Homo-oligomer: A and B are copies of this chain.
């Protein structure tokens, strides 16, 4: 028997696409439930409020992503005591791609949502993330510090967030940028091709 798609999951799938592409405030409950093909009231019934729905949408990805990433980093540390920045960057790749099993375009959605979480929605989402995943994030940060021990922890922090910023902004604005690229260079870009150009840029910046 093929597992039934529950109302909850229908809502999550519809909401994440709209949130990622249009933003939290710009997306209404009615748009979400219409796209999901469910009743308007079901969001409040299953999630409580729009605020909690936003958290649930992001958390579905984080719950998958963070453990996979920590796992990858752990095996890297075991195999190779003196790993490099780019090896550490590599650890992000497969956990990110794993998100596409939750949803086609899941990895793109995830990065877009993270980007929105920083700038939209006041601090709600960020506070939720740091509460639930703060320890894991600090572990990751320390791993980056190991690759560049000459930096202060604060410098590592800022370079990491420059990196995150470049990634999530590029993805968040990817539709606009792909548009421009098509009209200016007659070049059809995809998120994958963008990432290929992005990675060396990021590595060079972080190791600067």
Contact = CB atoms under 8 A, between A and B. Distances in A.
Interface in A150-203: 153-155, 157-159, 161-162, 164-166, 168-170, 172-173, 176-177, 179-181, 184-185, 187, 194, 197-198, 200-203
This protein's copies in its complex: 2
Interface stretch (A7-15, A87-95, A112-120): A112-120
Contacts of A202: 205
A131 interface: no
A23 interface: yes
Q: Which DSSP category, helix, strand, loop or mixed, fits chain A's interface?
A: helix
Contacts of A154: 181, 185, 187
B162 A170 contact: yes
A177 B204 contact: no
A135 interface: no
Interface of A: 22-23, 25-26, 115-116, 118-120, 122-123, 126, 130, 153-155, 157-159, 161-162, 164-166, 168-170, 172-173, 176-177, 179-181, 184-185, 187, 194, 197-198, 200-208
